[in-house]
Structures are given as C-alpha cells and as structure tokens.
Amino acid sequence: MLIAGNWKMNTDLPTARQLASAVVSSVGDPNPVRVAIFPPMVSIDAVFSVIHGSPVLLGAQNVHDGEYGAYTGEVSAPMLRSAGCHYVIVGHSERRQHFGETDETVNFKIASSRANRLVPVVCVGETLSERDAGREKQIVERQIRAGMKGVAIGSGLEMVVAYEPIWAIGTGRTATPEQAQEMHALIRKILIDLFGKTSGSDIDILYGGSMKPGNAAELLSQPDVGGGLIGGASLKAEDFAAIVAAAVKAV
C-alpha cells in the first residue's frame, strides 16, 4: 500500500519545507504503509533534507527521457536519483493534456526511470467523454500496454500504476468504489499478463481523483486498490495524515 502526495505546481520553498515536516511528524516510524511526497522540482533538495532519515519517501512529478544534454528546462532520471528521489510520476493526465505527452513519450520516460533505479508511478485514465462512450477500459488498456512496451521489472516493488479518471481529478467528483475496483481489476489482469503472476500481483495500483479523508477508507478497502495518488488533499497536512491513517487501517 502506497499513499502518494502530488503537490503539483503548489508550495514555495518555505511552505514545502513546512508541509514536508508536518508529513514526517504524522507518519509513524516504522509505518505499515509506504508514504511518498512529490514536491515541485525546485523544492526537491530542501524536502529531501527534511525527510531524510524518516520513512517518508521522495518523488518527482516529471522526468525527461534522456540522461544529460541540451534540453533547456528539463530534469533527467540520473539527476532525480542523485537528489534522493525514489519515485517519479510519469504520464500524469495534466502532462498528457497540457504538455503533449503521449503513450510513446511515457514509454521512453518509464525506460529511463527504470534504467536509473527510479520507481515510475505510471498514470492512466479516461476522459468523461471516453467513459460516456463506454471506451474507458479500451483506453486504459492501450495506455498501459503502450507505456510498458519493452519494460522489464525484477519485482512488483519496481513499478507503480495510478488509475486516475480524468473526470475525477480536482473536480470533487470521485469514482465510486465499485468503478475504481472494476478498473483496478482490469489493470491487475494486464499487469499479470505483462510481468507474470508474482510481479504483476505485487504492483501497487493507486486510485487518484479527489481522494480525501471522507472517501479514502472505502476506496482503499477495495481488493485491487493498493493506495492513493492524492492531489488537493495532500496540500493540507491534516487531510493527508487522515488518508494515511485510513490506509494503515486498510492493510
């Protein structure tokens, strides 16, 4: 079980330090649930200093697929690894929507993350019109199979998938536990097909999209929901702590 806080383009340096330190104080040591935070790039190093030595893990929100070179403004997997990152979010719907990411760029980014010992948190999910047209399963299956093309893993701990229905992100509208479970079960089947029974069964499949203290327990109790990718509610230390507590109860 993994609870991941995606801060998106929020927090300046002092706020990032404060929020990270509040997360550290609220997480038990040791903790039965993995907890990770994903601050903006500019605060990665400062947040690493705050959480270092605690069970809270660090992640970045994006990565370039190359290693070094003339790519102004980009940050690579070796850089993230050297800054203390364990995870990196790949293919978030906001990056697909606003920054032109495709299944192919997602595939390159997963490969580079894996080559540099970062655990990719691969985001998939359908739009509202795709769901209304009954195409949500087809879309998610395509995103996973194309994103994971040629990718190998040694164990389920080396990969995370996040199912984030786009119509539920930042909207206050959440998938029902049944809708989440139905899609997570399909994702589980695809992952077992791609990576084998053992690794495919061990990959955490997170739900993301308006998860908050009031709905976390029910979503996290679904058999194939292995955690949450939390946006808005991860910016309030108390709400994030309440979701972590719900996850601890669910394991």
Is residue 209 close enough to count as binding ligand PGA by CB under 6 A? yes
225 exposed, middle or buried (CB, 10 Å; 0-12, 13-18, 19+)?
A: buried
From 101, 126, 136, 164, active-site residue? 164
> In angstroms, rounded to a whole number, what is the distance separating the alpha carbons of residues 88 and 233?
19
Inter-CA distances, 92 with 8, 207, 221, 238, Å: 10, 13, 24, 25
Q: Which residue is nearest to ligand PGA (CB)?
A: 231
Instruction: Provide the 8-state DSSP code for 228.
Output: E
* Inter-residue contact 17 to 51 (CB < 8 Å): no
> In angstroms, rounded to a whole number, what is the distance separating the alpha carbons of residues 89 and 100?
16
Per CB under 6 A, contacts with ligand PGA among 220-249 are 229-233
Type of residue at 212: K
Is residue 205 close enough to count as binding ligand PGA by CB under 6 A? no
The question of whether 86 is a catalytic residue gets the answer no
Considering the complex, state which of residue 165 and residue 200 has its C-beta at the smaller distance from ligand PGA.
Answer: 165
The question of whether 64 is a catalytic residue gets the answer no
Please pick, from the candidates 208, 224, 227, 245, the single residue that binds ligand PGA as defined by CB under 6 A: 208
Per CB under 6 A, contacts with ligand PGA among 116-175 are 164, 169-170
Residues that bind ligand PGA (CB under 6 A): 6, 164, 169-170, 208-211, 229-233
| Active site (catalytic) residues | 92, 164
